[in-house]
Amino acid sequence: MIKKLLIANRGEIAVRVAKTAREMGIETVGLYSTPDRDSLHVRSCDVAVHLPGESPASTYLNADLIIENTLRIGADAIHPGYGFLSENADFADKVKSAGLSFIGPSPYAIRTMGSKLESKELVKSINIPTLSSIDVTGLSGNELSNRVKDFTFPILIKASMGGGGRGMRIVENIDDMEQAVESASREAKSAFGDGTVFIEPYLTRPRHIEIQIFADTHGNVISLFERECSIQRRHQKIVEESPSPRVDEALRYEMGEAAVKIAKSVEYLGAGTVEFLLDNSNKFYFLEMNTRLQVEHPVTEFVTGLDLVRLQLEVAAGMSISHINVSKPLGHAIEARLYAEDPLNDYLPTGGEIELFEVPGNLVRIDTGYESKDTVPLSYDPMIAKIISYATSRDEASMKLSLALKKSIIAGFKTNRELLVRILEHDEFMNGDTDTGFLVRNTPNTLIREPSKSALNISLVAATLAEVAQNNLSRKKIPTIPSGFRNLLSQPHTKRYEYNGFDYEISYYLNASSQLDSVGVNGELLDVMVDGILSPSAVTLVIDGIRLETTTFISDTRIDVSSIYGNFAFMRVPRFVEPGLAQLPGSLVAPMPGTVTKVAVAQGDTVSKGDIILAIEAMKMEHSIYAPYDGIVASIYVSEKSQVSSNEVLAVIEESEKHEV
């Protein structure tokens, strides 16, 4: 049996593995890069080893350094989690050569199934349907056009290695192919160390169904049923559930048998997932096999009653799975991935310090690598947590998850919480009628509704009173003078906040006992009173006869207010604006901190609206910056591999003069 386990990963999966290992009496060893020094996964392990450096390449992807430290600290096994080195066959080879146990399949299985191109050929040979595909790595011009001439657009470009939606692009026409291939290959190279990309047909409105399989050293391979993963943004799953509302018992059996057949073809061992696309006529096509534990494994754990990490560790120690006898999914589980990103701004990563993070654990399971006051670094994936609900019915599981998200408190930066709630409450999802194009048809701008006037007003009042309470605690008190005293008692006190591009002025009166006499928003008097709690961190209000508890967090520039109505981040509008450095007209600024991966133009170049100017990578995703209009590149302030900060000016485009015809 394994006695000391090194977890070669970070974040929530490292915390998750450490939890089960601890329950089994296995000592755990964590790893951490310099930015992760104070992370939750470090605190969750018995001991932790520092990997000097900040980039993934020098730390969590440094196979030799990880193995060296495993041997040095006396661990006898390595669990790779998911991502990083989890599907790196060379790493698995090195682990075994060092006399250590690798918690995963054989290097042969990883290598064979790790390449989407090679795995498709194997699966074809055992008579399981796949989509046609062609390697287009490094192709351009006529050569690329000739390769794709037999395909009907739209076409999907995919990275051969890795996953998580990285290195994937949908291309609508031939004119966009060359740039898309180049960008996808560059992103794949950065994320997985391999820039191989291929194309395949892009099915319209398919469902993404995957089968969890498990195999042991005694020849047993079983299917643990399906997960529906059709709700995706940028080809990355954000809502997953089991069982699928589309899959009946007969289809479940057929897909499970296909997945088991694929696993047996590579003498698989441990946890693995076989992914399929399911079309409208219930025909399924092999996509890929993930030779590791999946991010969404908790939904399978709920509907089977199994601990998949425990099974991984037991199978690695030679135990049999012949005793497992789960005939069908029990109940229903749904998982939502909470990300540090702004869905209304092209899903750009946000990140930074989590001022406050609370999820009602009585409703759901929370798998996370973060707590309040932890920092979400921009070097890694922006997922903050997985929030998973379970119930006897799909409707109840959905409602529990939606309520838990509504009652969650996340202060410090924007997240996709509101988007997740709107997805769960959307008719298509509630009816089980979703597909991979759901967030293409239903964009965040259409899903995320503006808050109701009453929700916004009560949150603005809560922010104002929290700030008043903080001022009252910090001021040097003269007992006979009320908080916020002013000589001209007939005039109200005022606060100004900015929210979603609009300014709001809150005017209020306090009586001699520092109690609220009246309050208004933008001149409209409100029926509001404080009901008990008034502090910098919580305000309870009654507005129009409705009592509401709010949680507030005050920072230097903003006030976060959380309640059942949602999370609001109000930026303080200073009474007197300090003069700053004005940006030149046409300035293109960095939407987030990151690394410049491509500069496509030079100073003096003529560009057209929509031309790519440069690309920035953050949290392992590449984001392109485009010309806002026809013009000339007046200045370029960065070069490839430059590190840039949020709102830093990258280039200036001088707009072309418009001449009358």
- The bridge status of strand 649-655 relative to strand 621-626 is unpaired
CB 388 within 8 A of CB 400: no
State the DSSP H helix or E strand holding residue 257, giving kind and residue range, or none if neither: helix 249-265
What are 436's two structure tokens? 């991979």
Q: Judge contact between 247 and 255, C-beta under 8 A.
A: yes
Question: Please, what sign has the CA dihedral across residues 637, 640, 643, 648?
Answer: positive
Catalytic residue among 169, 292, 417, 422: 292
**3-state secondary structure at position 594:** strand
How far from each other are the two terminal CA atoms of the chain, in whole angstroms? 82
Instruction: Take residue 540 and report the two structure tokens written for it.
Output: 């309870």
Token reading at 488: 């001209």
- Residue 292 a catalytic site member: yes
Give, as one character, the DSSP assignment of residue 522.
T
**Cβ neighbours of residue 362 under 8 Å, at least 6 residues apart?**
none
Q: Name the 3-class secondary structure at 454.
A: helix
Q: How many CA atoms lie within 13 A of 393 on its CB side?
A: 4
Tokens of 504: 């709001």
* Interior/surface letters 324-358, b for 16+ CB within 10 angstroms, e for the rest: eeeeebebbbbbbbbbbbbbbeebbbbbeebbbbe
Distance CA 229, CA 242 (A): 9
**C-alpha closest to that of 378 among 196, 591, 148:** 591
- How far, in Å, CA of 25 to CA of 34, rounded? 29
Tokens of residue 479, six digits? 């007992």
Q: Which of 76, 83, 84 is nearest to 102 (CA)?
A: 76
Q: Which residues contact 162 (CB under 8 A, 6 or more apart)?
A: 87, 188, 191, 192, 194
Residue 418 tokens, joined? 């509101």
3-class secondary structure per residue, 273-335 = EEEEEECCCCCEEEEEEECCCCCCHHHHHHHHCCCHHHHHHHHHCCCCCCCCCCCCCCCEEEE
3-state secondary structure 208-249: EEEEEEEECCCCCEEEEEEEEEEEEECCEEEEEEECCCCCCH
With H, G, I as helix, E, B as strand and everything else as coil, classify residue 400: helix
Give the closest residue to 147 by CA, choosing from 194, 202, 199.
199
Tokens describing residue 556: 């230097």
CA-to-CA distance for 168 and 177, rounded, in angstroms? 12
Q: Return the structure tokens found at 563.
A: 């309640």
d(C-alpha 557, C-alpha 413), whole Å: 12
Q: Which helix (DSSP H) or strand (DSSP E) does residue 94 occupy?
A: helix 89-97
CA distance 36 to 32: 5
- The catalytic site residues sit at 292
